[in-house]
Chains A and B, each alone.
Chain A
């Protein structure tokens, strides 16, 4: 048994399996993200959705429900955003241009290449105070946030500007909230495979926190157990 959804794709109604629906939704999200900055964004995405609707109708051939395979086949024909390298107006252009610039520079000095397209965010998932140091670490490509933290500690100890400096940065740097923000923070291209990587990381982070919390609770329970044992012992007078 499979749950189905009713959708409107390119002005055309479809009944679609749940797994196929999720697949199609994440694909369309990637398409919209890819073209959001492109001129004619609405027209392009509308054309793509209408063409997907047409592909579904052709593939279904009077069968009533769109399945996972139909979505896969339609995506294979349309292509994923990372496969659209050939249009100068699309985002792909800036990536390949920086790619060729890097290849040119590659012969002279490979170590001083700075990843392009990075943005400064606070990394609240790897934070001690506000995530400022972690964000700066990602931005400058430093191996470990401990160096940035040490720098802040030294500035705080040596003079008065450390704390105001940190607070100003905290206020100015936006928090990396979405998977897209986290990719931009690291300067990685935003595509489906990278976004799913980030989501997996976030999930692992969450489950780590859960285990920590669990251990903490278990620890408290032990203390509490010890306390009740002591009080019971006190009451029974064995300690007296």
Chain B
């Protein structure tokens, strides 16, 4: 039963090949919903791990995981989190182009992230518990 994350992700992809188009669409939509919720958590946690961080560094941190996104996805997310006072930014001069916005997490943001993290671990154990039960019942 022990599988690494990467393995289960690739089996998921392998399974999609045998599905009908409708099933693939449904899975895709469900996956998108899941990823969307988790992305916010991962972006916040990436920012919380550093004193301050530039948007392209956040993108690099998510790279090569199933959560990899285009940089353009991050800007609306960062702006929204900043407007909710979970993030703040400072301008820094750059040697290669216009000044950069460096983001850091606020105290409110840290609290929010802790809340998200505990919700997430509750979810993971609940999902694990339920799917495990269902498999033994079969």
CB under 8 Å from chain A, chain B span 69-115? 69-73, 75-80, 83, 94, 96-101
A80 to B72, CA, bound (A): 8
Quick one: closest B residue to A83, CB to CB?
B70
CB under 8 Å from chain A, chain B span 20-62? 22, 25-26, 28-30, 32-33, 35-36, 39, 55-56
**Which residues from chain A contact B39 at a C-beta distance below 8 Å?**
86-87
Given A10-B98, A40-B79, A47-B101; A79-B33 close (CB under 8 Å):
no
**Number of contacting residues on B, CB 8 A?**
32
The binding surface of chain A is classed by DSSP as helix
Quick one: closest B residue to A46, CB to CB?
B75
**CB < 8 Å A-B pair total:** 110
Q: Does B29 lie within 8 Å of A51, measured CB to CB?
A: no
Q: Does B77 lie within 8 Å of A87, measured CB to CB?
A: yes
The binding surface of chain B is classed by DSSP as helix
Given A11-B98, A96-B33; A81-B72 close (CB under 8 Å):
yes
Of A99-107, A151-159, A229-237, the one touching chain B = A99-107
CB under 8 Å from chain B, chain A span 52-106? 53-58, 77-81, 83-90, 93, 96-97, 99-100, 102-104, 106
Q: Is the interface on chain A under 10, 10 to 19, 20 to 34, or 35 or more residues? A: 35 or more
Q: Does B25 lie within 8 Å of A99, measured CB to CB?
A: yes
**Which residues from chain B contact A93 at a C-beta distance below 8 Å?**
36
Q: Does B35 lie within 8 Å of A106, measured CB to CB?
A: no
**Which residues from chain B contact A77 at a C-beta distance below 8 Å?**
70-71
Which single member of B26, B77, B94 contacts A100 (CB below 8 Å)?
B26
**Which residues from chain B contact A10 at a C-beta distance below 8 Å?**
97-98
Quick one: closest A residue to B23, CB to CB?
A103
Q: Does B73 lie within 8 Å of A86, measured CB to CB?
A: yes
Q: A48 at the A/B interface (Cβ < 8 Å)? A: yes
Q: Does A79 lie within 8 Å of B73, measured CB to CB?
A: yes
A53 to B97, CA, bound (A): 6
Quick one: closest B residue to A42, CB to CB?
B79
Residues of B whose CB lies within 8 Å of any CB of A are 22, 25-26, 28-30, 32-33, 35-36, 39, 55-56, 69-73, 75-80, 83, 94, 96-101
